[in-house]
């Protein structure tokens, strides 16, 4: 089935209702693209859950809603100014937002307060009604007060509202960001319920658009039947009507040429309705299949049309190897004729698709498998697709037999072991933090593991269906420097090269500096501004912490 995290999807649908009430409203979604979004819920990265939830919710937002996307932490690892309006607010921006979210890298810090303020300013909140929806899995990390910002925006705005989705936050953490929403009259939604995966979007009820009230009449009309539109849906011609299938009925006014005009409403499953006289276009959808037909409604008539989807059901079970367990985070992509974009699902997938040739691609980590399946109307086809990968878990130690590097700044890059003709290696994938899991096709690889200024290469091998651990020993320690009054702290190697130069091991514009360094001797240079510079010698030992004070 098509799956999502229950909490985030529910929260996003609540917010979709909040922004879609009036099509004239302008809103910006502020998406947390910090490195912590690589954290997993039930084996699936939070960033993928957020992307999928966005993709699903945007399908329910009317095309004339002016919606934009802002991201932070997606370009630099340590910057508090890494904020970008990726998609400016505009009508019909759903596809652009989806594509932008899919292309984001998740790297840096969490300047959520500055991002919300910038979004409000981009919406001209002091002149027009404006709404900001913040999705964050962490607290402010850039020394700003989100609660105070909420009061500021509420007092200075014409009609400003901020909604906050706390994705994976604890109750206590949630209280620290809820005030941003509460101080602007918005909603705070705790989206930490990740107990499994949600059913397909078509089986989730979104708030339908309101049906226009019928025009008043000067005199009572003749009695009408309770319902004048009672449609049925089947997968194939002559097939049994579908009940409680989670399908959608989209009802549009018809234009003069018979094409779809204004959308009246969207209803679900066993719908019965009462439509005013006039010409309509009705579209029935289930999964990725859809069919539409015209309907002319006249007074006193009851219409019971049958909609034939000409579709079948495909069940895909993605596995890393023959006989391996179904992989819940595997991407299952369907690229079928007539689709605007390929449809992507995750884990074991059960979906209704148009009859015909179905091209299915399954990816697990860096492994990929492609199948072509013939699907007939009314048919159900079940298929195991094997991506052919093994799993490795990569960690680092400061020293052989010493402490594990348990820091989010741990950088892991995976390369193919075989060098190209120019002597470089092809990068396969990357990740951050300890216990990084990589699903890789069988072969020889090199893990380049880096923590601050210490880096090591660790060769390893993977086999399909096997799991293993890769441990890189950095042969490094931690140097912590305290230099009161310093404008800048720089670290150099103590030994000079043949040209008399010392290798630079990083710097900071602060009075304190902590970094991981390879074992060896170093010179610390302190810039005290008008008071000149000072130098201090120190040594770093593998697996040990060295503290240095320079006054």
User: Picking from 48-62, 169-183, 488-502, which range would have the lowest pLDDT averaged per residue?
Assistant: 48-62
Residue 218: which pLDDT band, with cuts at 50, 70 and 90? Answer: low
Residues 23 and 102 reside in one and the same domain? yes
| 537, part of any domain | yes
Eight-state DSSP code of residue 207: P
| 219, part of any domain | no
Eight-state DSSP code of residue 32: E
Residues 436 and 346 reside in one and the same domain? no
Name the residue among 153, 79, 84 with its Cα closest to residue 109: 79
Q: How far is CA 355 from the centre of its chain?
A: 31
Residues 253 and 332 reside in one and the same domain? no
| 211, part of any domain | no
| 209, part of any domain | no
| 172, part of any domain | yes
| 214, part of any domain | no
The last residue of a domain, from among 428, 453, 473: 473
Average pLDDT of the segment spanning 100-125: 90
Residue 1: which pLDDT band, with cuts at 50, 70 and 90? Answer: very low
Summarised one tens digit per residue, pLDDT across range 327-355 is 999 999 998 777 778 899 999 999 999 99
Name the residue among 59, 5, 50 with its Cα closest to residue 29: 50
Global confidence as pTM:
0.56
Q: What is residue 11's predicted lDDT score, i.e. its pLDDT?
A: 46
Residue 220: which pLDDT band, with cuts at 50, 70 and 90? Answer: low
What are the strands of the beta sheet with 349-354, ordered from one edge? 349-354, 311-319, 380-386
Q: What are phi and psi of 115, to 5 degrees?
A: -65, -45
User: Picking from 57-71, 73-87, 297-311, which range would have the lowest pLDDT averaged per residue?
Assistant: 57-71
Summarised one tens digit per residue, pLDDT across range 9-63 is 444 444 444 443 343 478 999 999 888 777 777 767 777 878 887 777 777 777 7
What are the strands of the beta sheet with 545-549, ordered from one edge? 512-518, 476-482, 545-549
Residues 32 and 181 reside in one and the same domain? yes
Summarised one tens digit per residue, pLDDT across range 350-408 is 999 999 999 999 999 999 999 999 999 999 999 999 999 999 999 999 999 999 999 88
Q: What is residue 197's predicted lDDT score, i.e. its pLDDT?
A: 29
Q: What is residue 6's predicted lDDT score, i.e. its pLDDT?
A: 41
* Cα Rg of the chain, angstroms: 29
| 416, part of any domain | yes
Q: What's the total number of domains in the chain? A: 5
Residues 463 and 482 reside in one and the same domain? no
The gap between the terminal CA atoms of the chain, to the nearest Å, is 63
Name the residue among 173, 101, 84 with its Cα closest to residue 137: 173
Q: What is residue 534's predicted lDDT score, i.e. its pLDDT?
A: 95
Name the residue among 336, 229, 231 with its Cα closest to residue 287: 336
**Residue of 54 and 315 predicted with greater confidence:** 315
Residues 11 and 152 reside in one and the same domain? yes
Kindly list the distances between the CA atom of residue 103 and the CA atoms of 48, 96, 238, 477, 515, in Å, as whole numbers in the listed order: 11, 11, 44, 36, 31
Q: What is residue 172's predicted lDDT score, i.e. its pLDDT?
A: 77
CB burial readout 497-520, b (16+ within 10 A) else e: eeeeebeebeebeebebebbbbbb
303/293 Cα distance (integer angstroms): 13
Residue 421: which pLDDT band, with cuts at 50, 70 and 90? Answer: very high
Angle between helices 146-156 and 112-122 (to 10 degrees): 10
The CATH number of residue 488's host domain is 2.60.40.1120
Q: What is residue 16's predicted lDDT score, i.e. its pLDDT?
A: 47
The last residue of a domain, from among 386, 410, 430: 386
Q: Residue 151 is encoded by which pair of tokens?
A: 């009061």
Provide the residue range defining the domain that includes 117: 6-197
434/409 Cα distance (integer angstroms): 9
Residues 455 and 480 reside in one and the same domain? no
Summarised one tens digit per residue, pLDDT across range 132-175 is 999 988 888 898 898 999 999 999 888 899 998 887 777 778 78
Residues 351 and 459 reside in one and the same domain? no
Q: Is the pLDDT of residue 237 over 50?
A: yes
Residues 376 and 290 reside in one and the same domain? no
Residues 161 and 23 reside in one and the same domain? yes
Residues 63 and 121 reside in one and the same domain? yes
| 159, part of any domain | yes
Residues 351 and 395 reside in one and the same domain? no
Return mean pLDDT, the chain.
87
Residue 207: which pLDDT band, with cuts at 50, 70 and 90? Answer: very low
The last residue of a domain, from among 436, 454, 473: 473
107/428 Cα distance (integer angstroms): 18
């Amino acid at each position: 089935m098509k799956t999502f995290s229950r909490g985030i999807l529910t929260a996003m649908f609540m917010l979709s209702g909040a922004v879609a009430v009036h099509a004239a409203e302008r809103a910006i979604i502020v998406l947390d693209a910090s490195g912590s979004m690589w954290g997993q819920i039930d084996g699936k990265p939070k960033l993928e859950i957020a992307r999928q939830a966005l993709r699903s919710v945007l399908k329910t937002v009317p095309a004339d809603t002016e919606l934009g996307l802002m991201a932070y932490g997606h370009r630099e690892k340590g910057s508090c100014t890494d904020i970008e309006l990726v998609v400016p607010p505009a009508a019909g921006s759903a596809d652009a937002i989806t594509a932008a979210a899919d292309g984001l890298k998740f790297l840096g810090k969490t300047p959520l307060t500055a991002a919300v303020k910038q979004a409000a300013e981009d919406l001209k909140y002091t002149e027009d009604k404006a709404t900001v929806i913040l999705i964050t899995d962490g607290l402010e990390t850039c020394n700003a007060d989100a609660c105070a910002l909420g009061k500021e925006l509420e007092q200075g705005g014409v009609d400003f509202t901020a909604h906050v989705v706390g994705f994976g936050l604890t109750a206590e953490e949630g209280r620290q960001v809820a005030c941003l929403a509460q101080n602007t009259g918005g909603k705070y939604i705790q989206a930490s319920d990740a107990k499994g995966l949600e059913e397909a979007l078509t089986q989730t009820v979104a708030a339908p658009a309101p049906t226009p009230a019928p025009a008043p009449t000067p005199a009572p009309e003749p009695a009408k039947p309770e319902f004048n539109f009672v449609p049925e849906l089947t997968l194939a011609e002559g097939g049994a009507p579908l009940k409680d299938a989670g399908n959608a009925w989209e009802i549009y006014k018809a234009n003069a040429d018979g094409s779809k005009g204004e959308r009246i409403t969207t209803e679900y499953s066993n719908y019965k309705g009462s439509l005013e006289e006039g010409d309509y276009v009705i579209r029935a959808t289930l999964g990725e299949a859809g069919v539409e037909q015209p309907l002319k409604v006249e007074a006193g008539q009851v219409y019971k049309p049958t909609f034939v989807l000409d579709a079948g059901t495909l069940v895909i079970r993605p596995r890393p190897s023959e006989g391996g367990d179904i992989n819940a985070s595997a991407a299952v992509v369907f690229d079928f004729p007539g689709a605007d974009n390929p449809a992507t699902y995750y884990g074991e997938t059960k979906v209704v698709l148009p009859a015909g040739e179905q091209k299915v691609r399954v990816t697990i980590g860096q492994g990929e498998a492609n199948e072509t399946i013939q699907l007939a109307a009314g048919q159900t086809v079940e298929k195991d697709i094997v991506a052919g990968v093994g799993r490795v878990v990569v960690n680092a130690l400061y020293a052989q037999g010493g402490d594990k590097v348990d820091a989010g700044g741990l950088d892991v890059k995976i390369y193919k072991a075989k060098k190209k003709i120019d002597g470089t290696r092809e990068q396969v994938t990357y990740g951050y933090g300890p216990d990084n899991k990589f699903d890789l096709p069988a072969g020889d690889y090199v893990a380049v593991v880096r923590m601050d200024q210490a880096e090591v290469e660790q060769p390893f091998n993977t086999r399909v269906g096997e799991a293993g651990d890769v441990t890189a020993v950095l042969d490094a320690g931690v140097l912590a420097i305290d230099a009161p009054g310093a404008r800048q702290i720089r670290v150099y190697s103590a030994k000079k090269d043949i040209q008399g130069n010392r290798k630079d091991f990083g710097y900071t514009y602060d009075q304190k500096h902590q970094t991981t360094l390879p074992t060896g001797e170093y010179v610390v240079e302190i810039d005290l501004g008008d008071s000149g510079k000072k130098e201090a010698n120190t040594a770093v030992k593998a697996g040990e912490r060295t503290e240095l004070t320079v006054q």
